[in-house]
Amino acid sequence: MVQPMMTPGITPAGTGEGGVVWNILGQTYRPMQHSAASFAFETLFPDGTFVPPHIHADQDEFIYMLDGTFELFLAGETKHASTGDLIKMPMGSPHGIFNKSGKPVRALFWVAPSQRLYELFSRIHDVGDPGEVVRIAAEYGVEFLPPPG
C-alpha cells in the first residue's frame, strides 16, 4: 500500500481519522494522523492490559502521557511515566508498556517513519489470540521478544 501524504485538517477529539477505531487485545487505538513520515494514534489501555517487550527495527516511537501512569520496560530497566511525560523509544530499542495502575491510561503514541504500522493495526483489529498477533506483527517488522526466564 502506498502511504498517503498528510493533508491539513483536524481529527476531532474522541474520533479516529476516517472514523477508524481498532480493538487490539482489549486496548482501543484511534489513528489521529497517518503519512509516510509519521503515524500518530490515541490509545486507551484498561487496567491490566499491556504490550509485551518488542522492537521496531526501523521506527522511532514516542508516547505522550495524556492521563494515567504506565510501567515501562526501557533499555533493560523498569521505569514509570505519568500524565505529561514524554517517553522516547529509539528504533532498535526493546520496550514494553504495562498498565498496572488500577485505572485506565490514555496516551498519544506516534512513530516515525510510519512504515507499515497502520496496516498492522488494521490487520490485528479484533484478533483475540496473542500468539496470532505476535505472528502477524513479525510480518510487519515488529519483533516481540521471548518472555524472560
Residues 74 and 96: their CA atoms lie apart, in Å, by 7
Q: Which domain holds residue 60?
A: 24-142
Q: pLDDT at position 125, please?
A: 97
81 domain-assigned: yes
35 domain-assigned: yes
37 domain-assigned: yes
Considering the chain, what is the average pLDDT of its residues? 93
End-to-end CA distance of the chain: 39
Q: DSSP state, 94? A: -
Residues 76 and 78: their CA atoms lie apart, in Å, by 7
State yes or no: pLDDT of 149 exceeds 60: no
Number of domains in the chain: 1
Please give the C-alpha separations between residue 20 and each of 12, 16, 56, 82, in angstroms, as whole numbers. 12, 5, 23, 27
18 domain-assigned: no
147 domain-assigned: no
Q: How confident is the model at residue 2 (pLDDT cuts 50, 70, 90)?
A: low
CATH of the domain at 93: 2.60.120.10
**Predicted TM-score of the model (pTM):** 0.93
Q: pLDDT at position 148, please?
A: 60
Residues 137 and 56: their CA atoms lie apart, in Å, by 10
Residues 128 and 72: their CA atoms lie apart, in Å, by 23
pLDDT per residue as tens digits for the range 82-97 = 999 999 999 999 999 9
Q: pLDDT at position 129, please?
A: 93
pLDDT per residue as tens digits for the range 38-67 = 999 999 999 999 999 999 999 999 999 999
Largest interatomic CA distance in the chain: 48
